Structure 1
Amino acid sequence: MTIAYLNGDYAPLADVRISPMDRGFLFGDGVYEVIPCYDGSMVALQYHLERLHQSLEGIALSQPESDAQLTSILSEVVARNGAGNLGIYLQITRGVVAKREHAFPEHPLPTIFAYAFDISPPSDGSPETASCFRAVTRRDQRWGRCHIKSTALLGNVLHMMEAVEEDAEEVLLFNDQDELTEAAACNVFVVCGDTIVTPELDHQKLPGVTRRQCLELLETHTDWTVEIRPVSRDEVLSASEIWLSSSTKELAPVVSVDGKPVNEGRPGARWSAAQKLFQQHRFSRP
């Protein structure tokens, strides 16, 4: 039985009730984080809290609890749900209002909600343990503030369904300049020759925690050439490897794009080496 947290109380998830007048329900007026937890230990929690601060600032909502208080809440959710391999979902909205109107309430009372869900053990970097993804490509049609980790994810959901309808698991998105932005639920790395490339951050991309960890690990533990810059569609389609990065996937290889194989449809050697670095260092900060 999943135990969730809502505004000071812990209860079975099935018994938790949120008002239909919550602005998170009415407008998607809130932000969230998903923190992976393995054997009771949360991964990169400080990075997630830093991004939470940035997202709250992006929607002009003050953080209702301190980092220490949020950490205590999340730790309790982990403990009450067995402290195994879990994803911890944390959502903060602008709270309940008496009347639905677009303007922010003058004195909001934010809603804090958290719950846990099971996740698979991470790959150890071997091809046998890789979660491989097929991807399609589409023009990025989401809103212009993707750097905020907003709960308003309809644009991402519609793009994800474009992948599902093509029997794929992800969609690689390109802006009007035909430059890679990200995927529906992940950041993206591509291997071009001997160089690892990922798009530079801006309003079109979420500042992924796993992306940040990956860049730090590659800088600290390899001599690989890594570039953060615009990535063209041609570079993506000719890449020898493509990786997805997200908190619950770490690094995952893309084995086909638009039905054409990447690296002969197998996880690549660079992906394997990078994921092995996560296996060794996921709980450390370089």
Structure 2
Amino acid sequence: MRTVYVNGEYLPETEAKVSIFDRAFLMADGVYEVTSVLGGKLIDFDGHANRLDRSLGELEMKAPLTKDELLEIHRELVRENEIEDGLVYLQITRGAPGDRDFAYPDPDTPPTVVLFTQSKPGLADSAQSKEGIKVISIEDQRWGRRDIKTVQLLFPSMGKMMAKKAGADDAWMVEDGAVTEGTSNNAYIIKGDTIITRHLSNDILHGITRAAVLRFAREAQMKVEERPFTIEEAQAADEAFVTSASAFVMPVVEIDGAAIGDGTPGARTARLREIYLDESRKTAV
């Protein structure tokens, strides 16, 4: 049985409770972060904490805990649950003001803070990372502020199910003819020595893994173009991949039934994954 954190208390998961009036439950009025754990240490914690602050600010929510306090809670849950490889989920909501109302409650309403872990042995050595994944394209029907990491995840869940029903692993969402991102990851293609990925805006999540991978790519003398690309351009690429906190750098070998390159994970993608994991382990906390 896992130990979880709820509003200042460490509890067995069976004893954890949140009000039915919590605004995350009623309005999807909350934000979250997911931090990977490798070798018992947190990967890129500062990046996730900084993005959390940005998400809270965009929703006019006060940060209920300092970065140091959040770090200690993360570490305590990793220790308590004996997580060697896995994930720590953090969710902060606008709280439970007492009854349902569209208007924001009083700013002094206590937020709800929840953290829990997932054990994922061998997280960095998954079979998918060696075989690659298949994706389909779907219309992007999400709201316009995808840069805020909210708990509003219904359409990404629907996209995952569309992919599963089509015999694929994930979906890339398309808006105005260009790929925005995957259902839970940022999307990339490689043509020659150039990595192409959509530029930052309100249209996509500002991925923490994305930022690190692009930094490492530039340091490795690879060119990076941040611009929109189409599904057709992706199908004609040499390689493709996605990044996220839980998948790291994951090769994509098929899009809408068309093989990417020779249909196997590409050498540049494999090298980027290797660099990302090596460098991230060095700075893990």
Report the TM-score range of the alignment, normalised by the length of the smaller protein: over 0.9
- Separation in structure 1 between the aligned mates of residue 253 and residue 190 of structure 2, nearest angstrom: 13
The SS at the match of 2:281 is coil
- Separation in structure 2 between the aligned mates of residue 14 and residue 134 of structure 1, nearest angstrom: 37
The SS at the match of 1:77 is helix
- Separation in structure 2 between the aligned mates of residue 192 and residue 278 of structure 1, nearest angstrom: 20
Instruction: Compute the displacement of 1:282 (Å).
Output: 1.1
- Separation in structure 1 between the aligned mates of residue 45 and residue 19 of structure 2, nearest angstrom: 29
Instruction: Compute the displacement of 1:279 (Å).
Output: 2.8
Q: How does 1:105-254 map to 2 (within 5 A)?
A: 105-106=105-106, 107-123=108-124, 130=130, 132-176=132-176, 178-220=177-219, 222-254=220-252
Stretches of 4+ moved more than 3 A in 1?
122-125
Q: How does 1:69-108 map to 2 (within 5 A)?
A: 69-106=69-106, 107-108=108-109
- Separation in structure 2 between the aligned mates of residue 11 and residue 82 of structure 1, nearest angstrom: 15
- Separation in structure 2 between the aligned mates of residue 131 and residue 212 of structure 1, nearest angstrom: 24
Counterpart residue type for residue 103 of structure 1: A
Q: How does 1:37-76 map to 2 (within 5 A)?
A: 37-76=37-76
Please give the TM-score of this superposition, normalised by the length of structure 1.
Answer: 0.94
On the 8 A contact 1:122/1:250 being kept in 2, the answer is no
On the 8 A contact 1:124/1:275 being kept in 2, the answer is no
Any idea what the Cα deviations from partners look like across 1:126-160, whole Å, max 9, x if unmatched?
x8952521100112111100000000111211222
Please give the TM-score of this superposition, normalised by the length of structure 2.
Answer: 0.94
The SS at the match of 2:32 is strand
Instruction: Compute the displacement of 1:93 (Å).
Output: 0.3
Instruction: Compute the displacement of 1:234 (Å).
Output: 2.5
Which of 267, 279, 283 is residue 269 of structure 1 equivalent to?
267
Counterpart residue type for residue 229 of structure 2: V
- Separation in structure 1 between the aligned mates of residue 158 and residue 204 of structure 2, nearest angstrom: 17
Aligned residues: 282
- Separation in structure 1 between the aligned mates of residue 115 and residue 271 of structure 2, nearest angstrom: 34
Percent of residue pairs identical = 31
Instruction: Compute the displacement of 1:103 (Å).
Output: 0.5
Any idea what the Cα deviations from partners look like across 1:185-216, whole Å, max 9, x if unmatched?
11011112221111101111000111011011
Any idea what the Cα deviations from partners look like across 1:100-138, whole Å, max 9, x if unmatched?
01100013210000000022424469x895252110011
CA RMSD of aligned residues (A): 1.7
Structure 1 stretches lacking a partner, 5+ long: none
Structure 2 stretches lacking a partner, 5+ long: none
Which of 275, 279, 283 is residue 281 of structure 1 equivalent to?
279
- Separation in structure 1 between the aligned mates of residue 270 and residue 7 of structure 2, nearest angstrom: 42
